[in-house]
Structure 1
Amino acid sequence: MEPAPGYELTLLLLLGSRTMIDTLHKHLAARGYDDVRPAHGFVFHRLAPDGATGNELAEFLDMTKQAASEMVDYLEQHGYVVRQPHPTDRRGKIVTLTERGWSCIRETEAILSHLEGQWATIIGANRMEELKIDLRQLVTVANGGFLPQKFRPTW
């Protein structure tokens, strides 16, 4: 079934994103990171480079503090993050990446760069750069002149 005209762009963006993320996680699993889920990438993005409190993480992910805490629990149990005393608030904790977390980020960056390069060989490097410029402009304009600073994990 052909998508209705108004759905084609949305469908293609979702399929492209899903293809990239699924391929990324297949490669991460092969490199020993089979316990990382797509939503965890959003957590890593917020924690790098200096960490974040549970409240900051929940706000960034646009989820409840309880949901963010459960995600941090999982990542802590698997060695990707650690909770430490907050440097300025004795009552609080700050969540930071461990060496395993940083290693996962480095692997992710390498894999995504490789995948983007593969896609660029299909459409050409210039068209890939133009695509990124166009998408950045569309997203920025659609969000009142700003790139969104919150990421809600959707899978």
Structure 2
Amino acid sequence: MEFAPNYELTPLLMLGSRAVIDDLHRHMATLGYDDVRPAHGFAFQRLAPYGATGNELAEFLDITKQAASEMIDYLEKRGYVTRQPNPADKRGKIVTLTERGWGCIRETEAYLTRLEAQWAEIIGPQRMQELRTDLRQLITMANGGTLPHKFRPVW
């Protein structure tokens, strides 16, 4: 697939992101995490380390409260999260990761760490750091001067 040179970077970033996520999920399935979908990984980012309410998760993922509730139900039935009383709101619940949820995060972190180390072997550690710095700067600029606080999956 070829792209016009004046906007090649955008589709390459999207293709790269999708390739990494797909490969990560194939790997995670071999470890027994075959019921986790890409959107769940984004949710885990918000739930770690202290948990979140369903409303906070919906806001972070930029989805409806109903969709967040359905996701929480799905993850709870599979042992990744649990609902606990919210100390700040006796009527509400805080969703926190279980040991299985934390195990999924640790395996994901290990996989992504190995992947980035492989990339650094290919382009060199200095260029890898420059890539991180440049992407952070571009994303910050595109978001009005701050890194985004939402982490919505696009598929």
Structure 2: tracts of 5 or more residues without a match: none
CA distance in 2, matches of 1:2, 1:24: 25
What is the alpha-carbon root mean square deviation over aligned residues?
Answer: 1.0
Q: Which residue of 2 aligns with 1:72?
A: 72
Structure 1: tracts of 5 or more residues without a match: none
CA distance in 2, matches of 1:12, 1:93: 40
Aligned residue pairs total: 155
CA deviation digits over 1:88-123, x for unaligned, max 9?
211101100000000100000000000111111111
Deviates more, 1:94-103 or 1:1-10: 1-10
Shift of 1:78: 0.7
- 1:45-56 equivalences under 5 Å are 45-56=45-56
Shift of 1:151: 1.5
Amino acid at match of 1:140: T
Q: SS in structure 1 opposite 2:96?
A: strand
Q: Which residue of 2 aligns with 1:17?
A: 17
| TM-score calculated relative to the size of structure 2 | 0.96
Q: Give aligned-pair identity as a percent.
A: 75
CA deviation digits over 1:34-81, x for unaligned, max 9?
111111111100000110001111111111000111111111111000
- 1:1-155 equivalences under 5 Å are 2-155=2-155
Shift of 1:148: 0.1
Q: SS in structure 2 opposite 1:90?
A: strand
CA deviation digits over 1:7-50, x for unaligned, max 9?
31111101111111111111111111111111111110000011
| TM-score calculated relative to the size of structure 1 | 0.96
Give every structure 1 segment of 4 or more consecutive aligned residues whose post-TM-superposition deviation is greater than 3 Å: none
CA distance in 2, matches of 1:118, 1:57: 32
